[in-house]
Amino acid sequence: MTLSNDPSVVLERVEAALKPPPMYKVLMLNDDFTPMDFVVEVLQKFFAMGLEKATEVMLQVHHEGRGVCGLFPRDIALTKVEQVSVFARQHQHPLQCVMEEA
């Protein structure tokens, strides 16, 4: 970049409009086989929820078919979904966790 020595040239600073990265909701889906206490355990282990909040989300999953576990940047949301899926399979539960853009 060359700057002019001509005093009649005015340089303007242009601010780049950066928007924050999109956030993703991690959702847990209801099924008829995964025990409620296992869902609470998953919410506490992978989403750092206390017992009361984890129970509240578990009941939302149970009654409404899905519940929001948290809001995260894309990479973290993907990791959470994968961690829950692997943990559920290790314990032979069909629990599903998905993500969608918020």
CATH of the domain at 64: 3.30.1390.10
What is the block-wise mean pLDDT of the chain (102 residues), using blocks of 10 residues? 66 81 96 97 98 98 98 97 98 98 94
* Domain assignment present for 49: yes
Does residue 3 fall inside a structural domain? no
Angle at 61 between CA 94 and CA 30, to 5 degrees: 30
Counting the structural domains of the chain, the total is 1
* 93 is a domain residue: yes
Helix (H, G, I), strand (E, B) or coil at 97: strand
Laid out side by side, the sheet with 23-29 consists of 66-73, 23-29, 96-101
Q: So what's the pLDDT on residue 19?
A: 87
| Nearest partner of 36 among 70, 67, 61, 64, judged by Cα | 61
- The H-assigned helical ranges of the chain are 36-47, 51-64, 74-90
Confidence (pTM) = 0.81
Q: Is residue 47 part of a domain?
A: yes
* The predicted structure's pLDDT at residue 2: 55
Which pLDDT belongs to residue 13?
80
Residue 38, domain member (yes or no) = yes
In a domain, 2, yes or no: no
Is residue 53 a part of any domain in this protein?
A: yes
Structural domain contains residue 87: yes
Structural domain span for residue 87: 34-101
